[in-house]
Amino acid sequence: MRLRTFSALRLAEAMAAVRAELGPDAVIISTEADERTGEARVIAAVEEAETEDAFLDHILFPPRDRPGRAHLSDTVANALDRTGAPARLAGRLIALARASEAADPALALAAALDERFAFAPLGVASDRPIALIGPPGAGKTVTIAKLAARAALAGRSVGLITTDTARAGGVEQLGAFAQAIGIGAAAAEEGPALTAALDLVRARDLRLIDTTGMNPLAEDELRRLAEILHAAGAEPVLALPAGLDPLDACEIARVAAVLGARRLIATRLDTVRRHGALLAAADGADLAVAELGFAPEILDGLAPAAPMGLARMVLQSHSASEFHPQARAADGSP
C-alpha cells in the first residue's frame, strides 16, 4: 500500500491531485480541513500488489539457501557497479537496498528502486494522445506497434498517426505494423493536418503518435517537435534505447522533460548487459519508468515497468544471455 497526504486550498484540487498521482484506484482514507489555514487535507492510498506479493512469496516459500546480509548487499552493490550508473546514484541505491531490510537481493534492490524511482506504465487507454519521442533508431515506431498490439488484444480501439513523413520509409513502417495488427494508420506532417487526423480518431481508447527521431542538440528540430506536441495536445513519452553513455542518456532525458515528458520507455534492453544509462536518465530528469522493451517482437516485447522486473534485470543481465521479465516474474525464481 502506498499512503500519501495531499494538501490544497480547495478540496476539489486535493482530490484532483490524488487522482493524478495515485490513479483511479486510489481510496480516500480521510478528508479534513486544517483548523488554522482552512486548507483541505486528503489522505489517500493505493494497493501495490506486486511488491507485497513478492514479500509474501519470499516469506512463506523461502529459497533454500538464503544469503546472509553481508552477501546480500555485496550482490546488490556489485550488480549496480556493473551497470555503469553514476557513482552517486549507485551509492544511494545501495544504501536504500540495505535499509530495506529485505531478505534477498532482488527484493532489496526492488525496494530501493521503488523508493528512488517512479513507475508509471502506459496502460491500454488514455485521455490524451501519447507521442513517442526520442533519438533516431530508439525504437519509437516498434514500441508504438507493441503498445497498439497490446491495447488491441485487450479489446481497446487504437488510433495511429505518424508525423515521421520526411524520412524515407517512416510512414510505410508504421503502416505495415498497423496492417499486421489490423488497424489503420494515418500520416500527418504537422499542425492542421495533425489536428484533423487526431479528430478522426477522437473516440479511440488509445491514440498513439509516432515522431521523427530527435536530435537533442539541434534547437530548431526541437522547436518543431514542441510545436507538433502542442498542436496534438499530446503527452510526450521518451523512448530511450539501451546502450547509450549514461551522461548522454541523461541529457536526452532532460531535453525530453523540457518538452513535457514525465515518463520514459526503456527500449532494446535485450541488446546490452549494462543498464546504467536508463537509471541515470530516469533519475537525472526525474522521469517515471513506464515500460520495458526487451525484444524486437511486437507481440511479446514490452512489459509494464515495475520495481521487481527492473531489479531482476539489473541483477541478472550481467550473467544471463536472455532476459524476459514477465517469465521470470511469473515463475518467481529469485
Partner 1 sequence: MSAVLDTGHFAQRLVRRTPVLAIASGKGGVGKTWFSVTLAHALARAGRRILLFDGDLGLANVDIQLGLAPRLDLAAVVGGRSGMEEAITPYPAGGFDILAGRSGSAGLVALPPEAVDRLARELARTAQAYDTVVLDLGAGVERTAWRLAGASTACLVLCTDEPTSLTDAYAFIKLSLRANPTRDLRVVVNQAASRGDGERTYRIIAKACDSFLKITPPLAGIVRRDRRVHESVRAQSPVLTRHPRTPAAEDVTAIAAEIARELGRDGS
Ligand X SMILES: Nc1nc2c(ncn2[C@@H]2O[C@H](COP(=O)(O)OP(=O)(O)O)[C@@H](O)[C@H]2O)c(=O)[nH]1
Interacting residues toward ligand X by CB under 6 A: 134, 136-142, 213, 239, 267-268, 270-271, 293-296, 301
Residue 141, interface with Mg ion (CB under 5 A)?
yes
Residue 2 to residue 296: CA distance in whole angstroms = 34
Which residues from 86-125 bind partner 1, rule CB under 8 A?
Answer: 101-103
Q: Which is nearer to ligand X, 48 or 300 (CB)?
A: 300
Give, as one character, the DSSP assignment of residue 127.
S
Residue 211, interface with Mg ion (CB under 5 A)?
no
Residue 186 to residue 161: CA distance in whole angstroms = 5
Sign of CA dihedral 320, 238, 147, 119: positive
List the single partner that 301 binds among ligand X, partner 1, Mg ion, none, CB under 5 to 8 Å by kind: ligand X
The cell numbers describing 57, all together, are 512469496
The cell numbers describing 158, all together, are 487504437
- Least distance (Å) from partner 1 to the CB of residue 114? 12
Task: State which H helix or E strand residue 3 sits in.
Answer: strand 2-8
Binds partner 1 (CB under 8 A): choice among 58, 207, 312, 324: 58
**Residue whose beta carbon is closest to ligand X:** 139
Q: Are the C-beta atoms of residues 305 and 121 closer than 8 Å to each other?
A: yes
- Least distance (Å) from Mg ion to the CB of residue 176? 12
- Least distance (Å) from partner 1 to the CB of residue 47? 5
Q: Which of 46, 35, 37 is nearest to 8 (CA)?
A: 37
Give, as one character, the DSSP assignment of residue 121.
-
Binds partner 1 (CB under 8 A): choice among 10, 66, 128, 167: 66
Q: Are the C-beta atoms of residues 141 and 163 closer than 8 Å to each other?
A: no
- Least distance (Å) from ligand X to the CB of residue 232? 17
Contact letters for partner 1, residues 24-53 (x by CB under 8 A): ---x-xx------------x-x-x----x-
Binds partner 1 (CB under 8 A): choice among 70, 166, 168, 330: 70
Where do the DSSP E strands lie in 95-234? 130-133, 158-162, 185-187, 206-210
Q: Which is nearer to partner 1, 47 or 172 (CB)?
A: 47
* Cα–Cα distances in angstroms (integers) from residue 106 to residues 80, 158, 210, 317, 329, in the given order: 12, 36, 35, 13, 11
Residue 212, interface with Mg ion (CB under 5 A)?
no
Q: Which is nearer to partner 1, 42 or 158 (CB)?
A: 42
Task: State which H helix or E strand residue 91 sits in.
Answer: helix 87-99
Residue 296 to residue 23: CA distance in whole angstroms = 30
List the single partner that 296 binds among partner 1, ligand X, Mg ion, none, CB under 5 to 8 Å by kind: ligand X
Binding site for partner 1 (CB under 8 A): 1-5, 27, 29-30, 43, 45, 47, 52, 55-56, 58-60, 62, 66, 68-70, 101-103
